[in-house]
Amino acid sequence: VAPFVRLAGTMEGLNGDVIKKYDIRFKQPNKEHMEMPGLHSLEHLMAENIRNHTDKVVDLSPMGCQTGFYVSFFNHDDYEDVLNIIEKTLNDVLEATEVPACNEVQCGWAT
């Protein structure tokens, strides 16, 4: 039951590198969803701030169903550390005073 973080998939490259994709669910799938303006702002805030806590993030992106986000890590398989990184990132979001990259150059829907 949301909210939760779970390992959603693992991919291994030819040289042994591993990408792990996690679901960060804020809303229960098929029950409720986040409204787009909030989801979009949270995407900008999390994508910007998560990189302050690790250099292992490949991507953070919203789910099309609007229930949360996917975050992918490169060669990092410590689930407890992933949770710690997400917690620090969300604390950064709480302290933010503006939404980063909210402009027509960096965003396709800067409103």
| 65 in a structural domain | yes
Supply the pLDDT for residue 110.
79
Mean pLDDT of 3-10: 98
Q: Is the per-residue pLDDT at 4 higher than 90? A: yes
| 57 in a structural domain | yes
pTM of the model: 0.93
| 94 in a structural domain | no
| 28 in a structural domain | yes
Instruction: State pLDDT tens for residues 38-97.
Output: 999 999 999 999 999 999 999 999 999 999 999 999 999 999 999 999 999 999 999 999
How many domains is the chain partitioned into structurally? 1
| 27 in a structural domain | yes
Residue numbers of the domain that contains 31: 4-79
Q: The CATH number of the domain where 10 resides is what?
A: 3.30.1360.80
| 17 in a structural domain | yes
| 12 in a structural domain | yes
Residue of 51, 84, 71, 58 lying closest to 6 (CA atoms): 71
Q: Is the per-residue pLDDT at 111 higher than 90? A: no
| 108 in a structural domain | no
Supply the pLDDT for residue 8.
98
